[in-house]
Amino acid sequence: MNVGITIPAELPAAAETYAAAGVKIFRVRPDKAPYKNCRSCAPQLPNRERNPDYVDHRPEDCRCGVPTCHGFWAATCDLATVRQWWKEEPHANIGAPCKLNGWAVVDVDPRNGGDVSLRGIEQLKGVLPGTAMQITGGDGLHILYRSPGFDLPGEPFPGIDFKHNGYILLAPSIHSSGLRYQWYGDRKFYHPEVPWPATLFPPKEQPRVPGRRRPAQSVSGVRRPGKHWTVDTLVQHVMDSSEGNRNASLYFAACRANETADAGHLDLYDAETALADAGRAVGLAEGEVVATIKSASRRSPDNHWAAA
């Protein structure tokens, strides 16, 4: 029987409760990026002095000894480690890697039409099976299922992301709006036990039926709205990228950061700092991160992707 777990209102106590329940977690800053790396892995951005101690490396080769150095790959349910992390940073938000915890999450963002898309999906394919759900601080919704065992598209429908390779924040983390995340219903945390819905399988994973075409991943009558790029959404775009596509995702996000900053909707320095952290967190070498962000800053803007 899946027994609900009461989550304390204070972040340090909540973090310990998740860890005790076997959920792998890590510390997240208010801009949704992992906490700063150690000195030997310090951020290297354009126009900043390079750390003479730094040597390009991937997370699996790191020897710095700092447990939070590489973002969600450092996630753990070791209670002593978690207790120490939140003793050092009692206001840190709580991040949980989806795939590492065996989860796949439908992230519904009504600000970008996610509520309309969800209604369209359920009209076409049936109501999604009931499972653990979380209300985000931005009035969105996280619907948690068990991982299907294969990669999922990052943003298959307007305003809806499939969070699998990346991570989500857990209640009572604080959203940039100032509101807290909270579990739906009785406000207790339940381990997701319901499998990923077969109706949401990507086309390549759907069983072939002779004489029948695979359905396209679109929702009839739903138009993709203009994307309002924030530091949060740009970072999440990088964190959700799949292996082999991470550099391209960082480049895309850095280009959008420059265009959105030009339009006066975000601070470019903050965005580049967070994107550099995200690039390192997904395993890009330092040289790749720096070169990609520099390349994006020199690219001509594409107004099609500018913030709405």
Q: Greatest CA span in the chain, whole angstroms?
A: 62
Contact 230, 138 (CB under 8 A): no
Q: Does residue 205 surpass a pLDDT of 50?
A: yes
Range with the lowest mean pLDDT among 75-89, 225-239, 260-274?
225-239
Tell me the pLDDT band of 222, cut-offs 50, 70 and 90.
Answer: very low
Is this prediction's pTM over 0.75?
Answer: no
The residues near 28 (Cβ < 8 Å, ≥ 6 apart) are 34, 35, 92, 93, 94, 95, 167, 169, 173
3-state secondary structure the chain: CCCCEECCCCHHHHHHHHHHCCCCEEEECCCCCECCCCHHHCCCCCCCCCCCCCCCCCHHHCCCCCCCCCHHHHCECCHHHHHHHHHHCCCCEEEEECHHHCEEEEEECHHHCHHHHHHHHHHHHCCCCCCCEEECCCCCEEEEEECCCCCCCCCCECCEEEECCCEEEECCCECCCCCECEECCCCEECCCCCECCHHHCCHHHCCCCCCCCCCCCCCCCCCCCCCCCCHHHHHHHHHCCCCCCHHHHHHHHHHHHHHHHHCCCCCHHHHHHHHHHHHHHCCCCHHHHHHHHHHHHHCCCCHHHCCC
| Spatial separation of the C-alpha atoms in residues 288 and 131, rounded to whole Å | 39
φ, ψ of residue 142 to 5 degrees: the values are -105, 125
| Spatial separation of the C-alpha atoms in residues 131 and 126, rounded to whole Å | 15
Contact 133, 141 (CB under 8 A): yes
Average pLDDT for the chain: 81
Q: Which of 53-57, 141-145, 209-213 holds the top average pLDDT?
A: 141-145
Average pLDDT over residues 80-105: 94
pLDDT tens digits along 225-266: 345 678 877 887 888 777 677 888 898 889 988 888 888 888
| Spatial separation of the C-alpha atoms in residues 299 and 277, rounded to whole Å | 21
pLDDT tens digits along 130-155: 999 999 988 899 999 999 988 887 77
| Spatial separation of the C-alpha atoms in residues 226 and 217, rounded to whole Å | 19
